[in-house]
Amino acid sequence: MSLRPILLVEDNPDDEKLTLRALAKNNIQNEVVVAHDGVEALDFLFGGRNPPPAIVLLDLKLPKIDGIEVLRQMRAANPTKLTPVVILTSSKEDQDLIAGYELGANSYIRKPVDFLQFTEAVRQLGLYWLILNEPPPR
């Protein structure tokens, strides 16, 4: 059985590299598809050409369409309303935290600045969401 991809929605090239490096360092074997803005994310999710992701790692502060709107559209559509979404952001705003959970985010993680802490956070994400968690049937 092939592994479903991880959708990383991240517009900051440094954060993208850091996340990809942390995933690789933790031997996470899933393909990682990167969307650099909300439009690319929605195109991947609803374009009909791709398998549904195992998980979406979603930044909030994105160009074109922000992460909150991506999450809103995901939760409103049958093919993606149950897809696990982890908000992975540097936002410290309570309103983002509240909006994310109100719209059905499964988790909200503030990106640690330190690489070792970030790597550990990604290791735990991968362990829980890709191995331990039992997803709903497709």
List of domains in the chain: 6-132 (3.40.50.2300)
> Quick check: pTM over 0.85?
yes
Q: Mean pLDDT for the chain?
A: 91
* 116: three-class secondary structure by DSSP: helix
**How far, in Å, CA of 101 to CA of 17, rounded?**
27
Mean pLDDT by 10 residues, the chain (138 residues): 86 92 88 97 92 94 96 94 93 92 95 83 86 80
Beta bridge partners, 85, equal: 56
**How far, in Å, CA of 65 to CA of 112, rounded?**
24
Give the pLDDT of residue 102.
97
**How far, in Å, CA of 10 to CA of 37, rounded?**
7
Cβ proximity of 54 and 6 under 8 Å:
yes
Give the pLDDT of residue 2.
61
Span 101-115, pLDDT tens digits? 999 999 999 987 788
